[in-house]
Amino acid sequence: MITVKEAITKKELTEYIKFPFSLYKDNEFWVPPLIADELETFDKTKNPAFENAEAYFYIAYKDDKIAGRITAIINWAEVNGQQKKKVRFGWFDVINDINVTEALLEKVYELGRKNNLEYVEGPMGFSNLDKVGVLTEGFDQLGTMVTWYNHPYYATHFEQLGYVVEKEYVESKFPFSNVKPEFFQKANELVKKRYQLNALNFKSTKEVMPYVDKMFDLFNTSYANLSSFVAISDVQKEYFKKKYISFINPEYIKFVEDKDHNIIAFSIVMPSFSRALQKAKGKLFPFGIFHLLKAKKQSKDMLFYLIGVHPEYQNKAVTAIIFNEYYDTFKEKGIENCFRTPELADNIAIHNLWKHFDPKVHCRRKTFRKNL
């Protein structure tokens, strides 16, 4: 017998968060989240995503044992602002039982129909800075802190239930030894001179903070044309600034400004925390924090998290400046491997940025859609 209940209390949400810990207990590629961080993400009083969204968290039980979980989401900024009549679902995990999957998704359908929405898409989070997509290739690759890992049968369940692929994302990697400075060093100097641009590097978080709001404004501008993009609000800017910026090595944040000190390009990379998070087992204390701090200082794997260029400067080789700055930083730090976070498979412009580094696609993921 399958039953589904809404997780509301902190105890229930903690059970919801901990389910993947048992589902992937012996999986060497799954990267656990921090339980406290997930609880904050789901807290309507703390996460500003709820300013424009509503979400409901469900746990499925089969024979009185937890068998799956799902979050049903409506991003009202997307529905009302972009006229996309979509109900989202995310944080989806399930045992290999399509009946459990169907029971969980029915809760998403109920929310969509109640609000006169037209279709469902997922897995995806509240906004563009959340995790996205179900893994379809790369099950033997170590996950990251910014992606979901899952069993191969997830996508099979969606297909059997009548879903079709909505978007495909790719993740690639390349060794730092593939980076040849001659591909961008000359362009770096020419672009700086031609457009009167300047690179900004930082040694402390305090130096970064005055530029963060401008960075998020540029993020909104540079990503506005991508499908399903929802702009970051001022409240969300403050939240992300306090929660994440201080966690990122300041030397891995790069900005490019014009002669009037306007930020026209930015990039953020992060050291890989995957192995550290596996050792932490969902908890910062007593020892998890030390594993994370060690990774922050010593990791030789880098994760390219965000990169954005103002539309007026796209196709003007501004990224040569960013690559040049990272080359110097990575060389000094002894970086060995570079990983790219999920990028839309049809975003040819972003893929062309990396072609000289000979990246290899190691993971693919998709979102699935079904009309209500």
Q: Give percent of the chain with pLDDT exceeding 90.
A: 87
Question: Which pLDDT value is given to residue 240?
Answer: 85
Residues 134 and 189 in one domain: no
Residues 285 and 191 in one domain: yes
CATH number assigned to the domain comprising residue 314: 3.40.630.30
Residues 77 and 193 in one domain: no
Is 367 domain-assigned? no
Domain boundary among 122, 138, 172: 172
Q: Residue 288 in contact with residue 279, Cβ under 8 Å? A: yes
In angstroms, the Cα distances linking 298 to 27, 221, 223 are 25, 34, 32
pLDDT at 167 over 80: yes
Residues 152 and 58 in one domain: yes
Is 143 domain-assigned? yes
Question: Which pLDDT value is given to residue 127?
Answer: 84
Residues 208 and 347 in one domain: yes
Question: Which pLDDT value is given to residue 228?
Answer: 64
Question: Which pLDDT value is given to residue 107?
Answer: 98
Average pLDDT for residues 109-130, to the nearest whole number? 95
Tell me the pLDDT tens digit for each residue of 44-95: 999 999 999 999 999 999 999 999 999 999 999 999 988 999 999 999 999 9
324 vs 152: CA distance, rounded Å: 39
Residues 221 and 184 in one domain: yes
- Least Cα distance to 146 among 342, 302, 326, 293 occurs for 342
Rg value, the chain, Cα: 21
pLDDT at 239 over 90: no
Is the alpha carbon torsion for 42, 47, 49, 54 positive or negative? positive
Q: Which residues pair with 343 in a beta bridge?
A: 170
pLDDT at 248 over 70: yes
**Full residue range of the structural domain in which residue 357 is found:** 175-362
Based on the structure, what is the number of domains in the chain?
2
Residues 352 and 241 in one domain: yes
Is 369 domain-assigned? no
Residues 274 and 346 in one domain: yes
Tell me the pLDDT tens digit for each residue of 179-227: 999 989 999 999 999 999 999 999 999 999 999 999 999 999 988 777 6
Residues 205 and 92 in one domain: no
Is 372 domain-assigned? no
Three-class DSSP category at 99? helix
Is 370 domain-assigned? no
- Least Cα distance to 104 among 60, 151, 165 occurs for 60
Is 141 domain-assigned? yes
Tell me the pLDDT tens digit for each residue of 256-307: 999 999 999 999 999 999 999 999 999 999 999 999 999 999 999 999 999 9
Domain boundary among 154, 172, 190: 172
- Least Cα distance to 181 among 31, 357, 342 occurs for 357
Residues 73 and 61 in one domain: yes
pLDDT at 229 over 80: no
Question: Which pLDDT value is given to residue 227?
Answer: 63
Average pLDDT, the chain: 94
pLDDT band at 244; cut points 50, 70, 90: confident
Q: Residue 294 in contact with residue 361, Cβ under 8 Å? A: no
Cβ-in-10-Å burial (0-12, 13-18, 19+) of 124 comes to buried
Is 162 domain-assigned? yes
Element (H, E) at 294: helix 288-298
* E strand intervals along the chain: 2-6, 53-62, 65-75, 86-94, 119-122, 134-137, 164-175, 198-200, 253-257, 263-271, 301-309, 337-340, 343-344, 360-371
Is 329 domain-assigned? yes
Strands 253-257 and 337-340, bridge-based pairing: unpaired
Three-class DSSP category at 58? strand
Question: Which pLDDT value is given to residue 217?
Answer: 93
Residues 246 and 357 in one domain: yes
- DSSP letter (8 states) at residue 80: I
Q: Which residues pair with 73 in a beta bridge?
A: 55, 88
Question: Which pLDDT value is given to residue 242?
Answer: 82
Domain boundary among 130, 153, 172: 172
19 vs 71: CA distance, rounded Å: 13
Residues 225 and 136 in one domain: no
132 vs 135: CA distance, rounded Å: 9
Average pLDDT for residues 311-324, to the nearest whole number? 94
